Amino acid sequence: MITLISPTKTMVESPLNYYQVPVFNTESLMIFNELNQLDFNQAKKVYKASDKIVHKSLEMINNYQPCGAAIFSFKGASFKSMNVDSWSKTDLEYANSHLIILSSLFGLHKPFDTIAPYRLDYLSDISIDLYDYWTEYVTAYINSLQMPIINLASKEYSNSVDFSKIDGPVINIEFKEFDGVKYTAKSTYVKSARGAFVQEIIKNKVRTVNALKSISVHGYEFQHDLSNDSSLVYIHSTNQLEMQKV
């Protein structure tokens, strides 16, 4: 199984534990070239952030020097929940061939890819349509792996994959809360749950759908009645009694 996840805006320079060139390193150069030509005012429109963040984003792009493994570079909520520092060498090696971090700058990262911090998402306003640019590359690469896909990426990053052209099974993982009336997904909780779910997949070398269904993270448990062959839904366990009353 191949698990897809989103990157995070929060990044750090990580130690050079591994050296691995990103799959689409050459293809990323066109985007780098455009970003490197931005002045501050243009960058403000691209990043839609505070002056401080825009200055930092330009600095990261203009001085980009790969320095460490992707798996240790992202530090947002989902990656914190992965607790990567606790992974064994075997876990990390398994992740490098079974985990993909989607990216708007590189198309995708494998965990050992040597990268540096950068800031760019699919909603950034540049002249290149990032979805048009990356979807064919990313979809073809994922297809070439010839393994079932576990999609834990956000909608923004999932949209960089044309799942209609994926030859094998695709299973979407959803995390929801029940408020007594309806099911909702709370972004902050979902991000952390996704990371914890990835950790369970990697450390337990999950290879079957039944094994996925048995995973419970942060109080979320598999809900059979809301799931189907292409979507596994996990509901926060504290709401189970309320659900039974509906």
- What percentage of the chain reaches a pLDDT higher than 70? 96
Model confidence at 36: pLDDT above 80: yes
The pLDDT of residue 208: 94
> What letters, b where the CB count within 10 A reaches 16 and e where it falls short, cover 12-27?
eebeeebebebbbbee
Model confidence at 211: pLDDT above 60: yes
124-153: average pLDDT:
96
- Indicate the range of 111-115, 123-127, 158-162 predicted with least confidence: 123-127
> What letters, b where the CB count within 10 A reaches 16 and e where it falls short, cover 108-138?
bbbbbbbbbbbbbbbebebeeebeebbbebb
Q: Model pTM? A: 0.93
Q: How confident is the model at residue 82 (pLDDT cuts 50, 70, 90)?
A: very high
The pLDDT of residue 240: 44
The pLDDT of residue 134: 98
| Tokens (6 digits) for 175 | 């995390």
139-162: average pLDDT:
97
Q: Are strands 149-151 and 114-115 parallel, antiparallel or unpaired?
A: unpaired
Whole-angstrom distance, CA of residue 175 vs CA of residue 135:
25
How do residues 6-28 score in pLDDT, each as one tens digit?
999 999 998 877 889 999 999 99
Overall domain count for the chain = 1
Query: Which residue range(s) make up the domain with 173?
Result: 2-245
Q: Are strands 99-103 and 68-69 parallel, antiparallel or unpaired?
A: unpaired
